[in-house]
Structure 1
């Protein structure tokens, strides 16, 4: 039982780590409505509005006026589970375990001088929500996952001259998560599944630094570095309905250390003429940091812990690899009021066929995006975007918790976004 509990806690860390992946897995790219329209191809080189705080802090000094940018993106995911095998009798595999999800964002930039700007960003860089049905065949390996990360980023930017700007911002990152999974031990005694419910949270610091170079009045070249963030999650593990002799559950302290990896984004924005602008960019993420994760549960009873005693430690391999995400995009300025955008992106998944989990059944993906911006007045701009992504079909093969489970996952998602920028 102890190993069941610890491995479920371990999945919490994996889910949190994976949350930098809706760009390439189950994480969030949605930090700019205007950027979404071009597939985020010009993430670090296009200072279109205050959302550049997240894309490249250096770009704030290129904005002409004080402004606030806010918006919300929504993700409507679909999953087909095919060729499922294993799980207890009567199991189901409905799929579509990701509910309709909203991702808000808010940014502000204040120009102190023509060259100096201050900004603040509040956004969600990481997030994961999956919720399988109670009778899901792989419920011993993951049933519900709900992980949220909110980042506060105060930022400063300075333009040395018309060619070079720099920016820096510390990030204050609040992470919280809840994961549940079923345990098969109760069935041994003719009872229903038990439930393991884990909650944990932490606040940790990181930083974002960028440089923006403008060699000509038509070319922007941006480079942004986002630091790793070290978390030490403290929380608790609740066990209910375990059915192990006289023991039916309890609440125990849980802790784990996890480091989300650093990333580097490079992009180019090239203005072709008064109407056409093209974008290209790539992002490298050091997911190879996640080789394994060590988890501790405190105070586990001896009948559940065996010879390990009251404190249990387990290490489980993940063997993730570094990833690249690349995108191209274009915008067309129809007239003074309207701009149209489009983009195409490809993202790698850091997972592998051996260690892939039902909580993160993700593969390499492609996405196509469309967007539009409308200048309602000289001070107000409305942005909207639409995207569709699809992943390669991937296999999940899990064993070791009483019932083996294997299945093929076919994932896709629609993204919708609406936002506004107001200039002072």
Structure 2
């Protein structure tokens, strides 16, 4: 039963889970539509528009005019669940057998990811700006009778970041940039609790939020007017989520231990730091090439510890302090891309990316059914005037088949649940943005 509660807590602990995200772990990539067109291959070195505030704040020094950029990415995911099975065994009156339920998949509704940036050059050296974007986010909603419901069946989590930023250009070659980040995380997670006595499931729902600070810093070096390299460091962020746990149902066993009710909950969490490196080379007046790599320190997510307060002795025995090993590992992502300028008004983009998954076969659950993924992207930029740019992008990603093998015991080992399946995940991403220069 502790593990049942923990499966709900894991998602809020992670901050956001990424079944539908176009990045591994629980990260979202959609902070730039122009970057989306090249699979984010030149994210820390391109500095093409105001979205460089996120990609590399040092790149703001390359912008010659005051600029505002607004965009939206829509993500449509598809999941096929195959080879599924689930079983239970209990010495408390439930007996043993096969856990009933469906595996319809496609638990991710179409999701929108907004972004907005403003950059103002003060002179030929200094520039300031502010950005609002969503670095993490998730909505997963399995059908009500999902066979793996005891390991999580509903998740809605998001992180919204505000980043005021400044950049300084030392000379024609070297620029730096820095921006503190103000990060707001909130979420709502639910899962079913298997019956110990009787026949009906109980429910666990957790809601929590917090605001915490971090920072992004970047360096941009221009070897020649046509070749530049950038490196961006995004800091870890320490959260202490405060919220509540609500346990509902009519299981005689939980009624007897007075487990039903609403309780205060808290959770300490570190989201990982990352280092993003890329190179941009303008081959000629028409072709620009991009290459990039990013290291993310997912190994910070070693285990999850949830503290609940205000419970009686019986409820505390089941839902008081919960800990579970996660053992995520650090990951690398790689991307290459190209842009072709047809003429002054039109530019075409494309890119290819590979992203490792930080999860492992031992602890992967239906809440985080992700594996290594590959993505291909296409983009289009239209400049009807010198003041306006419209960016459009499309990405398609697919993952390796991912296996779920979950087992848990509860009620002091007197009852067990298991669920196994194979997930085939893919997603379409669509993006549009408008940039205006004053």
**TM-score interval for Structure 1 and Structure 2 normalised by the shorter chain:** over 0.9
Identify which of 386, 389, 392 aligns with 1:378.
386
> What is the rounded CA distance, in whole Å, between the counterparts of 1:74 and 1:12 in structure 2?
23
1:410 aligns with 2:424: yes
Report the CA distance between 1:245 and its aligned residue. 3.3
Report the CA distance between 1:376 and its aligned residue. 1.4
Query: Deviation digits for residues 67-102 of structure 1, max 9, x if unmatched?
Result: 001110000000000000005643100000111000
Report the CA distance between 1:300 and its aligned residue. 2.2
1:273 aligns with 2:284: yes
1:217 aligns with 2:225: yes
> What is the rounded CA distance, in whole Å, between the counterparts of 1:48 and 1:149 in structure 2?
26
Match of 2:174 in 1: 164
Gaps of 5+ in 2: 88-97, 410-415
Report the CA distance between 1:18 and its aligned residue. 6.2
The Cα RMSD (Å) is 1.7
Gaps of 5+ in 1: none
1:92-107 matched pairs, under 5 angstroms: 92-107=102-117
> What is the rounded CA distance, in whole Å, between the counterparts of 1:8 and 1:370 in structure 2?
37
> What is the rounded CA distance, in whole Å, between the counterparts of 2:2 and 2:279 in structure 1?
51
Identify which of 392, 402, 409 aligns with 2:400.
392
Shift in alpha-carbon separation, 1:20–1:114, aligned structure 2, 3 A:
farther
Report the CA distance between 1:10 and its aligned residue. 3.4
Shift in alpha-carbon separation, 1:2–1:284, aligned structure 2, 3 A:
closer
Identify which of 199, 222, 233 aligns with 2:241.
233
Shift in alpha-carbon separation, 1:18–1:300, aligned structure 2, 3 A:
farther
Match of 1:253 in 2: 264
1:337-348 matched pairs, under 5 angstroms: 337-348=345-356
Match of 1:23 in 2: 23
Query: Deviation digits for residues 198-228 of structure 1, max 9, x if unmatched?
Result: 0000000000000000010000100000000
1:330 aligns with 2:344: no
Shift in alpha-carbon separation, 1:248–1:323, aligned structure 2, 3 A:
closer
1:13-412 matched pairs, under 5 angstroms: 13-14=13-14, 16=16, 22-86=22-86, 89-185=99-195, 188-190=197-199, 192-243=200-251, 244-246=254-256, 247=258, 249-306=260-317, 312-400=320-408, 402-412=416-426
> What is the rounded CA distance, in whole Å, between the counterparts of 2:3 and 2:328 in structure 1?
22
Shift in alpha-carbon separation, 1:10–1:360, aligned structure 2, 3 A:
closer
- Please, which moves more after superposition, 351-360 or 240-249? 240-249
Aligned residues, how many? 419
Report the CA distance between 1:11 and its aligned residue. 3.8
* TM-score, scaled to structure 2: 0.92
Q: Is the 8 A contact 1:118 1:157 kept in 2?
A: yes
> What is the rounded CA distance, in whole Å, between the counterparts of 2:236 and 2:425 in structure 1?
28
> What is the rounded CA distance, in whole Å, between the counterparts of 1:322 and 1:329 in structure 2?
24
Report the CA distance between 1:39 and its aligned residue. 0.5
Report the CA distance between 1:377 and its aligned residue. 1.2
Q: Is the 8 A contact 2:183 2:213 kept in 1?
A: yes
Q: Is the 8 A contact 1:2 1:304 kept in 2?
A: no
- Please, which moves more after superposition, 392-401 or 330-339? 392-401
Q: Is the 8 A contact 2:17 2:138 kept in 1?
A: no
Q: Is the 8 A contact 1:20 1:26 kept in 2?
A: no
Q: Is the 8 A contact 1:19 1:127 kept in 2?
A: no
SS in 1 for 2:171: coil
> What is the rounded CA distance, in whole Å, between the counterparts of 1:5 and 1:388 in structure 2?
34
Q: Is the 8 A contact 2:6 2:323 kept in 1?
A: no
- Please, which moves more after superposition, 166-175 or 126-135? 126-135
